[in-house]
Amino acid sequence: MNSAVRMALVKTGEFILTALLVSFLTFAAFSIIPGDPARIMLGPDATNEQVENLQRELGLDKPLMTRYMSWLGDAVKGDFGNSLSFREPVKDLIASRLPVTFGMSFLAIIIVIAVSFPVAALCSRKPGRALDRTLSSFGHILFAIPPFALSMLMILFFSKALRVVAVGRYTAPGDHFGKFIISLILPSVCIALPKIAMTFKFLRASMIEFGASAFAKTAKSHGLSDLQIMLKHIIPNSAASSVTIISLVLSDIMGGSLIVEQVFNLPGLGRLLLSAISRRDFPLLSGIVFYLAMLTVVLYFLSDIVSAAIDPRIRDGRLA
């Protein structure tokens, strides 16, 4: 069995075990939270007999592991049951909010890649110079500002002062896709700016390391320009580590978008999650948390596979 197949099998096994652990912790956490779903559904005026009958109907009287196996079997098929407060299937509620959260996350990661790579390449060419110090200091400032605080500052500047953006005006993608994208641009920038600072710092360090390596000096002695060395050697050699940091940033973006959605009053998963928390809607809450957790696990799994495909040293176990 070659190293590529062996690593693929190991990573797949790790993925399955992690997914099972995440699913169990998600279900168990919401099962031990105080509050009876049957009582919540029937209201405070329901009798004990009515509550007990509904508990049996929902399977709440069964042992934890029995309920978990049943829930897991349905979750694998995308069925998380019905929301206690909205009286709709959880999967339909999540699907209706996905365009906003996915759209913001996609725009944000595009902005992060488009800005951080060229800026990191520019600064790594002459580290320690005035431009490098200025951009690095500015990155530290952006990284220190929480997304929700940055969102409020951007709203004050672009909406209140310049009056170029109307905050709170959301257009569904099915109504007008162009206006839908426009309504997500400013929130996506607010999410992306701190992540640009984080990605830039990592890429800059990686590019400086490869720029000082023996193969870069050899390429320089053969007459290649700095731009050719950057494009042909430094950036490709930084690709494996870049995949890892981008996957981390993307999972962080998904979490950060939930907060920014509230500031910009967008109907995404963030608003749905807060609504589920306030109403103690356990099926909806567990469905959203499980979905976000599994998305993170999948991102890490894919980043490991792509990194191994790019860099043979990872595939052969020569890098940790």
**What are the residue ranges in the chain where pLDDT is below 70?**
1-4, 31-44, 57-59, 159-168, 213, 215, 226, 233, 239-241, 310-320
* CATH no., domain 98-278: 1.10.3720.10
pLDDT at 320: 46
Domain ranges of the chain: 98-278
Q: What is the pLDDT of residues 39-60, one digit of tens each?
A: 666 666 777 777 777 777 666 7
pLDDT at 24: 85
pLDDT at 277: 79
Alpha-carbon gap, residue 96 to 75, rounded angstroms:
18
pLDDT at 162: 64
Alpha carbon 191 to its chain centroid, in Å, reads 11
pTM of the model: 0.78
Q: What is the pLDDT of residues 64-120, one digit of tens each?
A: 788 888 888 888 888 888 887 788 888 889 888 888 888 888 898 899 888 888 888
